[in-house]
């Protein structure tokens, strides 16, 4: 399929120079122009601090989470920490057998013989570095994928399903679709635990979670791709890679973007069943993030 030249895309972005008082419908129009020639299903949810500043495109469509579910997993782990079942300083033994899953793991690269790591460190590796060894150890620690799903449903995040851990979902292409969310639900999960108005998390766990999310270094060309370099973004990515037919099941980024004016907004972009190249998928996310940035910066 024919792609737009980079210059034309830049012109398109520049043509939507949001001024104060611009409506959210103008932002939605600009985003739809980005999507019009893309061979992918893209779920989008954007929301400011004021819920009136919200939009969604395919926002209720069930799309695969991939590693975005490590954010949801962290919520369940920290809930059990706050209940006193675990402590962030608890040492967890990681054996050579644990490391032998042939999946992405900075823990394995740093400690190939195994190591005792604090629970806090395993959470940091899992969320900020998307470590798969740490991820599946945490699933085991809390009681499995369905325990995580049950907790999410209990706190009101209903449009999410987590059936499998990382090793299982990566063992067969079709299984990733059993771990799903919607873009609107992903935004809900971000808002609920950032605002923490019902004290879902203790102050210590809340501070730990969002410091960790802000330290995430994956997906530098996704949400962060076109934003000013100093921008603070608390986010979690997820990526399936391509199958033998060239299809990308998921290339996602969800997060909170903090503006220079002290405000913030929530953004979830789930790119699914894409026949585009990975860099195009990332650019979809980056372009949407920049449009949203420009809109909210001028509110």
Rounded to 5 degrees, φ, ψ at 199 are 55, 50
CB atoms within 10 A of CB 214: 15
Give the 3-state secondary structure of the chain: CCCCCHHHHHHHHHHCCCCCCCCHHHHHHHHHHHHCCCCCEEEEEEEECCCCCEEEECCCCCEECHHHHHHHHHHHHHHHHHCCCCCCCCEEEECHHHHCCCCCCHHHHHCCCCEEEEHHHHHHHHHHCCCHHHHHHHHHHHCCHHHHHHHHHHCCCCCEECCCCHHHHCCCHHHHHHCEECHHHHHHHHHHHHHCCCCCCCHHHHHHHHHHHHCCCCCCCCCCCCCCCCCEEEEEEEECCECCCCCEEEEEEEEEEECCCCCEEEEEEEEEEECCCHHHHHHHHHHHHHHHHHHHHCC
Q: Annotated catalytic, 202?
A: no
Please pick, among 47, 105, 166, 205, the residue that the annotation labels catalytic.
166
Please pick, among 67, 129, 268, 272, the residue that the annotation labels catalytic.
67
Question: How far is 235 from 170, CA to CA, in rounded Å?
Answer: 22
Q: Annotated catalytic, 276?
A: no
Catalytic residues: 67, 166
């Amino acid at each position: 399929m024919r792609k737009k030249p980079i210059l034309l895309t830049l012109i398109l972005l520049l043509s939507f120079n949001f001024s104060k008082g611009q409506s959210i419908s103008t932002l939605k129009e600009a985003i739809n122009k980005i999507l019009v020639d893309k061979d992918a299903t893209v779920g989008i949810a954007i929301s400011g601090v004021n819920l009136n500043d919200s939009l969604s495109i395919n926002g209720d469509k069930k799309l695969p989470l991939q590693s975005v579910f490590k954010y949801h997993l962290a919520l369940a782990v920290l809930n059990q920490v706050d209940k006193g079942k675990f402590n962030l300083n608890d040492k967890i033994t990681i054996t050579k057998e644990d490391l032998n899953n042939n999946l992405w793991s900075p823990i394995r690269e740093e400690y190939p013989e195994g190591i005792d790591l604090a629970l806090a460190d395993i959470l940091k590796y899992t969320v900020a570095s998307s470590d798969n060894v740490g991820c599946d150890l945490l699933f085991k620690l809390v009681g499995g994928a369905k325990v995580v799903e049950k907790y999410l449903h209990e706190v009101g995040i209903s449009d999410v399903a987590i059936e499998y851990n990382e090793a299982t979902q990566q063992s067969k292409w079709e299984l990733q679709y059993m771990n799903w969310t919607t873009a609107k639900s992903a935004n809900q999960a971000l808002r609920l635990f950032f605002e923490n108005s019902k004290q879902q998390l203790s102050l210590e766990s809340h501070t730990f979670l969002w410091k960790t999310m802000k330290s995430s270094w994956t997906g530098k060309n996704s949400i962060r791709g076109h934003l000013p370099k100093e921008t603070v973004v608390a986010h979690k990515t997820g990526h399936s890679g391509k199958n033998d037919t060239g299809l990308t099941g998921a290339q996602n980024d969800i997060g909170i973007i903090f503006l220079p004016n002290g405000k913030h907004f929530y953004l979830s972009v789930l790119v699914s069943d894409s026949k585009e190249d990975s860099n195009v998928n990332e650019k979809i996310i980056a372009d949407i993030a920049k449009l949203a940035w420009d809109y909210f910066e001028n509110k």
